[in-house]
Amino acid sequence: MPSFHPVDAILLLLGVEAVALALSHRRTGRGPAPRRLLPNLLAGAFLLAALRTALSDGSETLLLLWLAAALFAHFVDLRGRWSEPSG
């Protein structure tokens, strides 16, 4: 059975944050829409997964996959921000 790692706690908190922000937006209509936050949150989660993989001596292939996923999510986030009017 895999052991619990401190990075796992951070990933769990990131998930709780995502749910809390989505519920808050749904209830109040304020703050960024979840679809706008998702790429940013995923980029962070993928980087944390890469860190977890590196710290637990995981495979280099898995580490590269996490990093590639983080880069892709980052690009999706940037594309969304780039199309927003500046203000």
**pLDDT tens digit string along 29-49?**
998 888 999 999 999 999 999
DSSP 86: P
- Listing DSSP states for 5-32 in one string gives -HHHHHHHHHHHHHHHHHHHHHHH--S-
- Ranges of the chain whose pLDDT falls below 70: 1-2, 87
Domain boundaries, the chain: 6-82
